A = this chain, B = another copy of it.
Amino acid sequence: MTAPDAAAATAATAATTAPDTTYPPTDRTVPTRSRERASYDREVVHAILDEGYVCHLGFVRDGAPVVLPTLYARVGERLYLHGSTGARPLRMAGRAGTEEPGLPVCLTVTHVDGLVLARSAFHHSINYRSVVVHGTARPVTDPAERTTALDALVDHVVPGRAADSRPANAKELAATAVLRLDLEEVSAKIRTGGPNDDAEDLGLPHWSGVIPVARAYGTPVPADDLAPDTPVPAYLTRL
């Protein structure tokens, strides 16, 4: 978040782990503020990515920014996106340039964990975990990788679902574009904990603390055309 915050920006936490366990920071992934909240740890990044399934994908069209929500899935150090072959960003990524086709993107995933209420309006904040990925989205053409990606996209939303649905047929595959985005220039940003009020505000009468925020799943609603005796599979009741 770019919201004002109590913590002064300090130098980014030095990587104390072996290089291969972290993403190397770059000019684009070192924040200008609240650097102590940044993380380049692969496990931290993977955990944030794996908890979500909707990202916000940014790209440049005619010189102007465009941000669209779309589904994603992680397989190792690669993210996959998909969509109709007619959708704009997928067409743009597949357009042949002078070299390998691809679309420069920024892919961001954000989880809101809490509303942080301080005594002062200024120190209000949000507890959150976000990941920002910079890179070039490229079309996936290898049939085996496309199948892996499409299964992952279904299973990323509902683990176990890909095996319990009809796989895409040739016509559907032909209508679907798949993009990959390698996890190379990546950072996470995390805020946790309570409000950071100034000492002189602690005596003010306002309640202060955190309102936890979480994602909640409701009872599965069967499709109108579903046979009434169809059992709800265990992977859904576990959600």
Q: Tell me if A101 is interfacial: C-beta within 8 Å of chain B.
A: no
Contacts of A78-115 to chain B: CB distance below 8 A: 81-84, 86-91, 104-108, 110, 112, 114-115
Contact of A119 among B67, B154, B165 (CB under 8 A): B165
- B65–A115 CB distance below 8 A: no
Which residues of the partner chain B approach A5 to less than 8 Å between Cβ atoms? 84
Which of A121, A172, A217 has the most CB atoms of chain B within a 10 A radius of its CB? A121
Query: A206 → chain B, closest Cβ, in Å?
Result: 5
Contact of A176 among B4, B64, B67, B209 (CB under 8 A): B4
- B166–A201 CB distance below 8 A: yes
CA gap between A87 and B5 in the complex, in Å: 11
Query: A110 → chain B, closest Cβ, in Å?
Result: 4
Q: A87-B2, A221-B194 are in contact. Are A213 and B215 (CB under 8 A)?
A: yes
Q: A106-B58, A222-B207, A225-B202 are in contact. Are A33 and B117 (CB under 8 A)?
A: no
CA gap between A119 and B166 in the complex, in Å: 6
- B68–A108 CB distance below 8 A: yes
Closest residue to A105 on the B side, CB-wise? B65
- A165–B120 CB distance below 8 A: yes
- B194–A209 CB distance below 8 A: no
